[in-house]
Structures are given as structure tokens and as C-alpha cells.
Amino acid sequence: MKKVIGSTIFLISLMLPIILIGCAPRIQKKPIDLVWPLPPDAPRLKYVGMVRSTLDVAKKRGFTETLFGTEQVDALKKPYGVAVDSAGRIYVTDIGRVMIFDLKKHDYGYIGDSPGTGKLGMAIGIAVTRDKRVFVSDISADRVFVYSTEGRFITAIGHKGEFLSPSGVAVDENNRFLYVVDSKKHRVSVYSLDSYKLLRTIGSRGLGEDGKFNFPTNAAVDSKGNLYVVDTGNFRVQIFDKDGNFVSSIGKLGDSPGSFARPKGIGIDSDDNIYVVDAAFQNVQIFNSDGQLLLYFGSAGWGPGHFILPAGLTVDSGDKVYVVDQWPGNVQIFQYMSKEYRERQALEKAPREKGTGGPGKKR
């Protein structure tokens, strides 16, 4: 009997890594032709890929290395916020840390995961500046932590009682503002991006009034310096100018396109189109700068183009759209096909003449 038990344990220990490898998520190998809207309409958005764990970015290793445990796999647990730096590195807030995915260098890293000063508890909002600073809100500490992109702790913003539930973080680098959305204080705190001094606050508790909030969650800034705040409990997005004055709002409570049920993440592309995640609808709605609905994408389910519990969203300088799905824990990447993007793609696909022999001819 002991021999049988021993053999069984040995077989289980041998097969377990193989089972785990089979279950571990990996990035899609074959391109997926998934676009919105569907043909015959001209596509405006396409699915690019997904990151879920270190396997999606780490350099490929041999079967033997993986089998005997030299390859460590670390997956997102319950992500929320996302930001992208000028080098294209993806920063994702997670429980007790920020995970960094570098798709270009096939590498990954962490911020705020080490014990001591700057250790994160429940990281939510995140923003990255051009001068390589990372701002992370932590609702368990009620503070906003500042790091370098290499993970070095710089400082913390917020004394005791200054925040009740800091969530979304946004930066306006042209006007030098740092915006911190406080869900439970129902307002947005505006700080100097240079000195971290509190300059003013925007809003207070209110049900439907212009300029007032009901549990706001996230924020984004457009090219003109306008601030967009997701007023989740009022089922809308409120827009303010750089001085904090109310401009207009987008959306209302409802179950039809253009309405909201549980709006969360927000981002803005190079054409100032506004992307808003709705966790209840399990999709993303896109509005133009006038607040008109242009398109929506995503639906309930698993896999590319589907969401279970979508949350944070950002748009990078190349118009890639990153959407965080808290469960099962991934970041899906889409490409907004702007006019500039389509022109760039056309140039790359155009045949190049070689000498005077015409396209593709050898002399």
C-alpha cells in the first residue's frame, strides 16, 4: 500500500506543473480579426491582444525549465486601474502592488510590493507622467503614493483625514495639475503636479446637480485641459474646464445605448473621443467631444472582446485602448483606427519600388 501511495504522490508531483502550465493563461498566438463596427461598415476599432500574467510577456523558455519550476508564473489577482508610459510599458494596479508589463522587451516588474515605506495595500487609480513619475491611489492607506517608473518610492500625498477613499488619478501635464477623485468625500482634489500642494477641490455631495457628485470613481483629461469625471452614483460623466468650472455632462441612468448603469473607467483618444466603461453593461461606450454616442464594444463573456467585471481604462499616445477586466483578471488591448493610423498603415503596406524595374522586380 505504501508503494502505491508513494507512486501516486510521485505521479501527482510530476504532472502538477504540466497541469498548471496547461491552465495558465497565455497570450493569443494567432491574430484575431475582431473589429467594431462589423462589416460592411468601415472598422474604427480592432482587438489587438491581452495580458494576464508574466507568461504573456516573459521570453519563452524550454519545456524542461518550465517543468522543473525555474519559470515563475505570476498572474493578476484583482486588477483595477491601468496606465501606459511613453515607452509603452503597461502599469496595472492590483492587490498589494502594481504590475508592469513590457511587451517590447518581453519583461515585467513590480512597484509597491516590497515591505516598508511605500508598500501598497489596495491600489486603485494610477497615472504616469512623461518625467517618469507614477501616481498610485491606495484606498487602504487613504493616500496617493508617488514612485519612479523604476519602482523607487518618492513620497506620499495626503495627511490623515485628507482622503476618505482616493480612487481615480489623472494628470494634466500642460497645466501642471494632479487630480485625485475621492469617492466617499464626493469631490476631486486638485494638486500641483510639481509641489504636490493642494490647490483646490471640485464638487461636493449632490444628486443630479451640475458640479456635484455621488460617489465619483475615475477621471481623465483631454488635449484642451478639460477634466472628465465619472460620476458613478449619478450615472453620468461631468466635464470641467482647467479652472474647475462645470462645462457639461454626458449620459443618464438607463439601459439603452448612451445611458449608464455603473460607469467606471474613462479615457480619451487623440481625436478627443471619450471611452467610458460600464461594469453593469459589461461594455465600453465611445462618445465624441459633443457627447454624442459613436460606438460601443464588448459584451458579457470570456475571451477577446468580452468582459465580466470591467473597471479601469486608458488610451495611450498611439491610440491603443486598454481595458481592465477585474475578473478573471486581465487587460485587453484595442486599437482606435484614427485617420492618422489608417494613413500610416496604408504607407506601410504600399509596395516599394526597387530601382526602375517596378514593384517587386529584380534588376
Tell me the per-residue pLDDT of 105-151, one tens digit each, with 9 for 90 and over: 999 999 999 999 999 999 999 999 999 999 999 999 999 999 999 99
| CA distance linking residue 114 with residue 357, whole number of Å | 62
**pLDDT value for 358:** 47
Q: End-to-end CA distance of the chain, in Å? A: 78
- Looking at per-residue pLDDT, the higher value among 131 and 347 belongs to 131
The DSSP letter of residue 282 is T
Q: Which helix (H) or strand (E) holds 23?
A: helix 2-23
| CA distance linking residue 318 with residue 300, whole number of Å | 27
Grade residue 227 by pLDDT with cuts at 50, 70 and 90.
very high
226 has a pLDDT exceeding 90: yes
Average pLDDT on 51-70 reads 67
62 has a pLDDT exceeding 50: no
Grade residue 102 by pLDDT with cuts at 50, 70 and 90.
very high
350 has a pLDDT exceeding 90: no
**pLDDT value for 309:** 98
275 has a pLDDT exceeding 50: yes
Average pLDDT on 244-273 reads 97
**pLDDT value for 348:** 79
Average pLDDT on 290-305 reads 96
Phi-psi domain of 258 (left: phi exceeds 0; alpha: psi -120 through 50; beta: other): left
Average pLDDT on 271-278 reads 98
| CA distance linking residue 35 with residue 45, whole number of Å | 6
- Looking at per-residue pLDDT, the higher value among 243 and 340 belongs to 243
Average pLDDT on 298-319 reads 96
Average pLDDT on 321-347 reads 93
**pLDDT value for 23:** 46
248 has a pLDDT exceeding 90: yes
**pLDDT value for 28:** 46
Q: Which helix (H) or strand (E) holds 9?
A: helix 2-23
Grade residue 343 by pLDDT with cuts at 50, 70 and 90.
confident
Grade residue 27 by pLDDT with cuts at 50, 70 and 90.
very low
Average pLDDT on 20-31 reads 47
Average pLDDT on 283-295 reads 97
**pLDDT value for 69:** 54
Look at the block and give the residue holding cell 524595374.
357
* Cell digits of residue 360: 517587386
